[in-house]
Amino acid sequence: MKKRLNIIVTGGAGFLGSHLVERLLADGHHVLCVDNFFTGDKRNIEPYLDHPRFEMVRHDITYPLYIEGDRIFNLACPASPVNYQYDPVQTVRTNVHGAINMLGLARRIGARIFQASTSEVYGDPEIHPQVESYWGRVNPIGPRACYDEGKRCAETLFFDYHRQHGLKIKVARIFNTYGPRMQLDDGRVVSNFIVQALLNQPITVYGDGSQTRSLCYVTDMIEAFIRFMDTDEEVIGPINLGNPVEQTILSLAEQIIDLTGSRSKIEFMPLPINDPVRRRPDISQAREVLAWEPRVGCAAGLAETVAYFEATLRRDGEL
Ligand SMILES: NC(=O)c1ccc[n+]([C@@H]2O[C@H](COP(=O)([O-])OP(=O)(O)OC[C@H]3O[C@@H](n4cnc5c(N)ncnc54)[C@H](O)[C@@H]3O)[C@@H](O)[C@H]2O)c1
């Protein structure tokens, strides 16, 4: 049997965080969830509130935290443009001050620490698919910079703590992930399309819909987190995690219309500023080092997600 660990998950009440909490509890660990509920939802962690190995701390990671643990997963940060652009200065603070606080905590308690970085560090990439050695093309002063540059600076901090203080780090560059417990109104492509389809509203496609995305189902992503965290000390990343299967936004819209049996029509809108045109991970490293690749196909993943969104819309009286 694996050793039972005390694991701190920042952002544990969010989309990815709550799935990670679920998995860590199922694996027999003690989990301490740290979240300020900015974009998190208490309902995401409600099933675990009475669990004997689960604890919840309401805390903003931009302030120091003094707790004990063996491992830290640092996921706290709003992830969708509508949320991270709501208070850009706080987004930078969460990424930079938050990282410093969590790295300081890891150093004090001797914990290994995982950082949820992002494919956004590649910006609008000139190379395709993106490999970890690519330094990216990010606009440092645009409306997305608070997130992109915040995450880039967090990576810098992780590597400096590693070099300077010998901290055990794991930096994952996460590509688009979807699944149940995403926020319905986070403005991301999957949630937008599913809600619009279920409500029989026009499906809003930005640009001509030829831009591509590679979407990873949440349980696949969590499996990669667990494998990466368990690797030997010298494996520090950055490592791309995502699904390399690329599809156009237009084909995604059509697939969701089919799946929901919706009467929605597709409506084309102007492309937002600095929206990346193509994004696909090269996951050779993850395949080799983690013996991992996504297993859940788009049809199965979307079906689970649609079922969750449908239930949530019914609960809220929208359907
Ligand atoms: N979902 C994706 O496709 C994706 C892609 C790339 C990177 N990521 C990264 O993964 C992490 C989780 O993303 P998600 O999709 O679950 O987002 P989410 O918004 O659902 O979850 C983020 C959680 O962090 C919490 N939080 C935000 N600021 C905080 C602060 N200052 N202190 C404490 N808690 C705070 C929120 O309340 C929320 O519960 C983020 O760091 C995000 O940047 C996600």
Q: What is the DSSP string of 278-298?
A: ---B--HHHHHHH-------H
pLDDT of residue 111: 98
Q: Tell how far the Cα of 161 is from the centroid of ligand 1, in angstroms.
A: 22
Q: Is the pTM of this model over 0.95?
A: yes
For 194-258, give the DSSP string. Answer: HHHHHTTPPEEEETTS--EEE-EEHHHHHHHHHHHHTS-TT----EEES---EEEHHHHHHHHHH
Q: What is the mean pLDDT of residues 62-73?
A: 98
CA distances from 266 to 161, 255, 270 (A): 48, 12, 13
Q: Which of 48, 84, 122, 147 is catalytic?
A: 147
Domains of the chain and CATH, by start = 6-178+217-242+280-295 (3.40.50.720)
* Average pLDDT of the residues in 46-71: 98
**Residue 1, pLDDT above cutoff 70:** no
User: Sorting pLDDT into bands at 50, 70 and 90, what band is 67?
Assistant: very high
Ligand 1 atom index nearest CA of 38: 37
Residue 265 has pLDDT above 80, yes or no: yes
To the query of whether residue 63 is one of the catalytic residues in this protein, the response is no
Residues whose beta carbon lies within 6 Å of some atom of ligand 1: 10-11, 13-17, 35-40, 60-62, 75-79, 83, 94, 98, 116, 118, 174, 176-177
- Summarised one tens digit per residue, pLDDT across range 192-248 is 999 999 999 999 999 999 988 899 999 999 999 999 999 999 999 999 999 999 999
Pocket test for ligand 1, best of 21, 39, 216, 222 (most atoms within 8 A of CB): 39
Give yes or no for a contact between 9 and 32, defined as CB atoms under 8 angstroms apart.
Answer: yes
